[in-house]
Amino acid sequence: MQAFDAIIIGAGAAGLFCAAQASQRGLKVLLLDHSAKLAEKIRISGGGRCNFTNRELDLRAPHKYFISDNPNFCRSALSRYTPNDFIALLEKHGVAHHEKHKGQLFCDRSANDIIELLVRECEAGGVERWQPCSVLAVRGGDGAFEVQTDHGLSSCKAVVVATGGLSIPKIGASDLGYQLARQFGLRLVPTRPALVPLTFDKSQWAPFSHLAGLSLPVNIETGDKKHRITFLEDLLFTHRGLSGPAVLQISSYWKAGTPIWINLAPQHQVLDKLLQAKLNSRKLIVNELVALMPARLAEAWVHLDPAWQRPVNEASDKSLTTLAHSLTRWELVPSGTEGYAKAEVTAGGVDTRDLSSQTMESKQAGLYFIGEVVDVTGWLGGYNFQWAWASAFACAQALGHP
């Protein structure tokens, strides 16, 4: 039986980074993953260029960017390993990168640059990696664990669970992390797909399904008056519903059975422009709308009501008001989401009440949880990767403490 200081289960972003950091602090580290391919979620992220962090992260208010039963849990780790720290690591390895939008940083070349960087960091510390390798059982506790795998039995002082969530099962997502949490008596916050497209009943969506592929900037909202969440991002129509950054963001906050509201022309005062056009124009209403939004959307919209299929100067103020309201306060109740298959992350997970925010150690001594498996879910735009780096770093510091 081989002995290690730490065995890390899961070789994704958090697992790789924790292994690298812990090994470089002098620990003997074994990294396990059941998948034959290394860090597939990194590889496919950001359109293949990996949105690896976000430089707009405000460390004074992390709860603004993260969803959790205790949003402030992430503050300690994020303040000790910042976006600038990870950027410095990229620069050390010569990985070229750029800012795309709202602080979102991407590799210039490929997400493989991040994977190769993490592998090199692991190699620098002498990490032993078994992959593919299935974990069959974890036994023990209090700094004396045994991990049974299909490669044999190993012992360790600490077990780090970095198994991710349930999102994108086709690249190997599993519920092993949640199983281990339950085995050792930890609480779980119910999981659900997050950063995921929204779907609608077929009949409800029939007037809009032909708009699939159309994208435009919108303002999108959900929640009650006390807890209203708003994003200004791009929306994408699909055959089954809505996607794009705006919808992915709002999906993490949306609750089943409740509405979302969309302003399809947030940069325009739609009613004012229509009433002004009524005084000065004989164009069809649809032609006036084309100046405010994509033509396909304007054409689909006026077909929702015969009163909108006429010259603007012949329309009543009431019908123009109704039209403007429908465009700037479009209310929809999604029937559901595209589920874990299309979700970028999993919300919920290991309850932070059972973890140390300083070290990521659970109430079971020697057992740690990092990354997506924890009930910490970031906004779209690099925040989830930054949580992976930061929680992994906090854990590695604790593992390497004498």
Within this chain, do residues 59 and 124 fall inside the same structural domain, yes or no? yes
Please state the φ and ψ torsions of residue 354, each to the nearest 5 degrees.
Answer: -100, 10
Instruction: Look at residue 73 in the predicted model and tell me its pLDDT.
Output: 96
Residue ending a domain, choose from 338, 364, 386: 338
Question: Pairing between strand 104-107 and 51-54?
Answer: antiparallel
Query: pTM of the prediction?
Result: 0.95
Same-domain status, 34 and 155: yes
Check whether residue 63 and residue 211 sit in a common domain.
no
For residues 134 and 149, is the Cβ–Cβ distance under 8 A?
A: yes
Domain identity same for 99 and 188? yes
Note whether 41 and 126 are same-domain residues. Answer: yes
Same domain, yes or no: 322 and 178:
no
Band (pLDDT 50/70/90 cuts) for residue 402 is low
Residues 55 and 128 in one domain: yes
Q: Is residue 116 pLDDT above 80, yes or no?
A: yes
Q: What's the whole-number mean pLDDT along residues 288-306?
A: 97
71 and 119 together in one domain: yes
Are both 276 and 182 inside the same structural domain? no
Q: How many separate domains does the chain show? A: 2
Tally of CA atoms within 13 A in the half-sphere of 125 that contains its CB: 27
At 59 the pLDDT is 85
Characterize 142-161 residue by residue with b for buried, 16 or more Cβ atoms within 10 angstroms of its Cβ, and e for exposed.
eeebebebebeebebbbbbb
Domain boundary among 288, 314, 338: 338
pLDDT tens profile 205-233: 999 999 999 999 999 999 988 889 999 99
Residue 184 reports pLDDT greater than 90: yes
Beta strands in 127-240, from DSSP E residues, in sequence order? 128-130, 135-141, 144-149, 152-161, 188-194, 198-199, 215-222, 229-237
Phi, psi (degrees; rounded to nearest 5) at 352: -65, -15
The CATH number linked to 18 is 3.50.50.60
* 214 and 354 part of one domain: no
Question: Do 178 and 223 reside in the same domain of the chain?
Answer: no
Question: Is 377 found in the same domain as 329?
Answer: no
Q: What is the CATH number of the domain that holds 224?
A: 2.40.30.10
Q: What is the pLDDT of residues 130-155, one digit of tens each?
A: 999 999 999 998 889 999 999 999 99
Last residue in a domain, options 338, 365, 381: 338
pLDDT digits (tens, 9 = 90+) for 31-66: 999 999 999 999 999 999 999 999 999 988 888 999
Residue 257 structural domain: 197-338
